Structure 1
Amino acid sequence: MALSQHTIAGTVLTMPVRIRHADVHSAMFSVPADAAQEMIDYSGLQVFQQQPGRAVVNLMLARYIDGDLGRYLEFGTAVMVNPPGTEASGWRALGSAGAFIHHLPVDQEFTLEAGRTIWGFPKIMADFTVRDDRQLGFDVAADGQHIATMEFSRGLPVPSLFTSRPRVLQAFSHLDGVTRQVPWEMRISKVSGALGGTTLHLGTHPYARELAALGLPKRPMMSSTVGRVEMTFGDADVVGR
């Protein structure tokens, strides 16, 4: 079976796209399910409720170091959703929920074009300032407007017994009226976590106003740092128009 290929800015990418080294800092927030649903209603997906009336939103900074899309920074807003045809709820079902990518600012043109063209990710160009001395912090802005600032404290190491197995995730995107499911496999190591563990400040960009409508900023339920991530992304499948 021939592997599919995509030409982006004159470069041929053969699927699956591989990320050989990245690190990810993220914070998980509990937000009102009604507000989260209103924010992503355009996708046709339903938010996952870890408890009645509450949804889960993850905010993250990913630093891509070595991969088919080059080096770049990415800020993501991911809303946990029920994959089409499912209606799971409760903490025990969180592992089977999908991640709908609602915001995805990046700082490089190549990954922006690839993300939008191949997977329908809503990537926009943004400016980042990253501080990485005793703890990691960053600012992200787009079109001259501040989106967010996050500061991550050091967490406690998570034993590799709980993190070493490869993971198959269900990611969803929406662009130009089309909702897609993206095959996403991940292997992680050097993981640490903390209850709370992150401070968030929001700016004046429209993305910030959307996050404020969810009741943010607030203390996250938990934060995590993944020191090494390896990923593959396959071709997306259309799940709704």
Structure 2
Amino acid sequence: MSGTAKDENAKSKDPTPRVLVLDVGNTNTVIGVYKDDRLLGHWRLISERHTADELGIYLTNLLKTVDIHLNSFDGAILSSVVPSLDIPWRDGVKRYLGVECMTVSTDLDLGIEVLYGAPKEVGADRLVNAVAGVARYGSPLIIVDFGTAITLDYVGPGGKYMGGAIAPGLEVSMEALFGRTAKLPRIALDAPPPSVVGKNTVDSIKSGILFGYAGLVDALVERVWYECGGQAKVIGTGGHAHLIAAHSKYMKTVEPWLTLEGLKLIYERNTSRR
């Protein structure tokens, strides 16, 4: 960044600190800016490999859209399931925002006990969702995240993260279906079919995907309840959560910004202890 740009930014510095939160997934990267408990802005990018400067320029332009200055940040935090993107994001944040970027791992104080058999293997996004879910709803709790993969996570009584299940996401399943069949058309999951029994090919595919995945979620929830000895509230998050929630027996609550909220909470918990 040029010295001139830094000087201009300094002249108009906003004194209220903000936190940048970054959720880097296999398909998309979601960026948010928090001021206290308020989400000031959020953006979704494709998770592609870029240099630190390219990412810094993206951040600069995105922040301009909500009139947030680069030097108004107190810190940043990153949750990533794509290791090759970690260093470019951390370097880009440091270079352009002038703050260190905390990275989510079990080495941080998460405020929950992680009882996963191999704690280092659990995805950072799953832990972040658990932190936010417990903060908002308490435990026991089941969290279903609809991303490239669908993850269902169980947090037991006392905020103990126990683990969960992983299944192919809706888009992954659809790509496999379309890629291996010659005549099936590509469809958009913009609305449910009028009935489970589809009267045309498009509605038949929609029925299989939407009602099928609602059944998958409900079946897993029932098995978790049975195995863990009691019911737990079920919440959903991620891109397709609202579509599945409309047809699920148990997942009726959707929190679209659960991961971003969890990142903010983890950042606050770990900076207040310094």
TM over 0.5: no
**Which has the greater radius of gyration?**
2
Give the TM interval when normalised to the shorter protein.
under 0.3
**TM-score with structure 2 length normalisation?**
0.24
Higher helix residue share: 2
